[in-house]
Amino acid sequence: MKSTRSRSRSKNNRNRQQQGGNVVNRVFDSSGPEGKVRGTPQQVIDKYNQLARDAQLSNDRVAAENFQQHAEHYLRMLAEAQREMDQRREEQERQNRERQAERDRERAERQEREANQQPQNDPSNAPQPDVGGGDKAEAKGSDEDSGLVETPESKPKPKRQPRRKPKPKPEGDAPQNNGSGDQPEAAE
């Protein structure tokens, strides 16, 4: 069974390891000359300053100086934490500015590339859709290879002449059918 003393030490060690975190909002237990003072660094500073004023009013200069030294200790901790937070904030702002500048450069390069490619992809130069169907390259008479494989379905169909009704034959020129079948009459 562990003693309470060893548990207490390990608890204090854990608190020391966590001090690297947010000191500004962390709650401290300060063992001052008149007992414990508990609170955030600003609350502890205010409490020690109040105790120092009370000691001065009671003409206890030693106690007043002691409370002021305790307040100064927490004031230094708070100032150090603020300085670290400011440095971190400045570093993050610097990194954010660098990232934004990089994004802006990439965006400008992308727009420049698109602007350079614009004449090739200009809508005014784009082929108009072929309403009649067929191969667009052949319809425009272009020698460019579209990279597509030509299939029989993709080849344009030859235009057919519309079907005409047969002309009626004059009656005098038509061969006479003698009723013997399909054989025409032999000439004599």
Mean pLDDT of the region 61-76: 93
Does a structural domain hold residue 5? no
Mean pLDDT of the region 132-137: 51
Residue range(s) defining the domain that contains residue 57: 23-114
Does a structural domain hold residue 160? no
Query: Residue 24: what pLDDT?
Result: 78
Does a structural domain hold residue 182? no
How many domains are contained in the chain? 1
Does a structural domain hold residue 178? no
Q: Judge whether 55 and 67 are in contact, CB under 8 Å.
A: yes
Does a structural domain hold residue 2? no
User: What is the C-alpha separation between 39 and 59, in angstroms, rounded?
Assistant: 27
Instruction: Quote the crossing angle between the two packed helices 41-57 and 61-117, to the nearest 10°.
Output: 150
84-125 pLDDT per residue, tens:
999 999 999 999 999 999 999 999 999 988 888 866 555 555
**Residue 26: which pLDDT band, with cuts at 50, 70 and 90?**
confident
Q: Judge whether 53 and 46 are in contact, CB under 8 Å.
A: no
Task: Tell me what percent of the residues of the chain surpass a pLDDT of 70.
Answer: 62
Strands in the chain per DSSP E? 28-32, 35-39
Which run of H or of E encompasses 140?
helix 136-140
Does a structural domain hold residue 131? no
User: What is the C-alpha separation between 91 and 22, in angstroms, rounded?
Assistant: 17
Query: Residue 1: what pLDDT?
Result: 47
Task: Tell me what percent of the residues of the chain surpass a pLDDT of 90.
Answer: 35
Does a structural domain hold residue 125? no
In this predicted structure, the answer to whether residue 71 has a pLDDT above a threshold of 90 is yes
User: What is the C-alpha separation between 37 and 71, in angstroms, rounded?
Assistant: 11
User: What is the C-alpha separation between 112 and 125, in angstroms, rounded?
Assistant: 20
Query: Residue 83: what pLDDT?
Result: 92
Does a structural domain hold residue 13? no
